[in-house]
């Protein structure tokens, strides 16, 4: 009863914490007519929103979908909780050098905030209205890992399965992937497991992989959507974004992480990885615009 009275007397507070109302407010703002879904799959949320939109279009339930990933969690309680999980970098004296995915001295991620929105549309409908097509979502893959709230199963089965599922859904083979936009948080555990997955999926000759979290930090629920946007820009500009702060390679991660400097490359297909706490893993394959 007290909660009900509080909601009636302070609707602004109620709306602020009403997670399920985000989709509804966006629908009211833009006049969309499909299901206004708000979801969370931890750090894979942005990628999950894209997957749900793609699948709705494929089922014929919609001709277009607005897929959004957003997060604004940089506040004391969240920072304390992630600190207690030993997930954050403690390189506080050099904040600009703290995020260092895949590097030997990595010690955690840097929290950040952000958002990205992607308009997903049936190709025929997009061409009919003369829309500029930025790229194609060719495949989506997911795999759950109910092993631990923050750690992946040591066999890497869920990470490997999500990557393979996305590539297969795109009708491609691992050899067709030209670049991987890493989840690449900079925690010792995540980067080790992602490297394990890369070797399992791609064998002895994996494609280049880099982490934009080295430059913008970890945007948590927004990361999957933001990194899909990074992947589209990679395809458009034929330029691999770097993993900065890569000073000492980790001998246990024998990958081309595009260290420190962006690199021109021929890129047709990008695999974008999103691995969330709680074992929620979603991967996307994006292709260049025809």
Burial category of 220 from C-beta neighbours within 10 Å (exposed 0-12, middle 13-18, buried 19 and up): buried
**Cα Rg for the chain, rounded, in angstroms?**
19
12: left (phi over 0), alpha (psi -120 to 50) or beta: alpha
Q: Which is catalytic among the residues 14, 18, 183, 269?
A: 183
Residue whose entry in the numeric block shows the structure tokens 């992480």: 257
Q: Which is catalytic among the residues 140, 218, 246, 269?
A: 218
Which residues have a Cβ under 8 Å from the Cβ of 249 and sit 6 or more positions away? Answer: 102, 103, 104, 259
3-state SS, residue 67: strand
* 218 catalytic per annotation: yes
Task: Give the DSSP H or E segment for 275.
Answer: strand 269-276
* 14 catalytic per annotation: no
Q: Which is catalytic among the residues 43, 140, 269, 283?
A: 43
Nearest C-alpha neighbor of 59 from the set 128, 120, 116, 135: 120
Q: Which residues are catalytic?
A: 43, 183, 218
């Amino acid at each position: 009863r007290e909660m009900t009275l509080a909601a009636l007397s302070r609707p602004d507070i109620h709306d602020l914490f009403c997670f399920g109302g985000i989709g509804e407010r966006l629908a009211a703002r833009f006049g969309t007519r499909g299901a206004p879904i708000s979801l969370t799959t931890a750090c894979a949320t942005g990628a999950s929103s894209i997957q749900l939109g793609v699948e709705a279009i494929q089922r014929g339930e919609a001709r277009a979908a607005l897929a959004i990933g957003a997060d604004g969690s940089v506040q004391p309680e969240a920072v304390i909780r992630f600190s207690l999980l030993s997930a954050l970098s403690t390189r506080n004296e050099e904040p600009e050098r703290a995020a260092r995915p895949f590097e030997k001295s990595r010690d955690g991620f840097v929290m950040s905030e952000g958002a990205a929105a992607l308009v997903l549309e049936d190709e025929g409908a997009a061409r009919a209205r003369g829309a500029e097509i930025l790229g194609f979502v060719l495949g989506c893959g997911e795999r759950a890992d109910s092993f631990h709230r923050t750690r992946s199963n040591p066999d890497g089965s869920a990470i490997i399965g999500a990557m393979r599922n996305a590539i297969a859904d795109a009708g491609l083979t691992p050899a067709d992937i030209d670049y991987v936009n890493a989840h690449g948080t900079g925690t010792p555990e995540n980067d080790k497991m992602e490297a394990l997955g890369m070797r399992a999926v791609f064998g002895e000759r994996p494609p280049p992989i880099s982490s934009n979290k080295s430059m913008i930090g970890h945007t948590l629920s927004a990361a999957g959507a933001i990194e899909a946007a990074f992947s589209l820009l990679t395809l458009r500009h034929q330029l691999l974004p770097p993993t900065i702060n890569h000073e000492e390679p980790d001998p246990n991660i024998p990958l081309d992480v595009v260290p420190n400097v962006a690199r021109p490359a021929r890129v047709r297909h990008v695999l974008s990885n999103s691995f969330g706490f709680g074992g929620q893993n979603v991967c996307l394959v994006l292709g260049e615009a025809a």
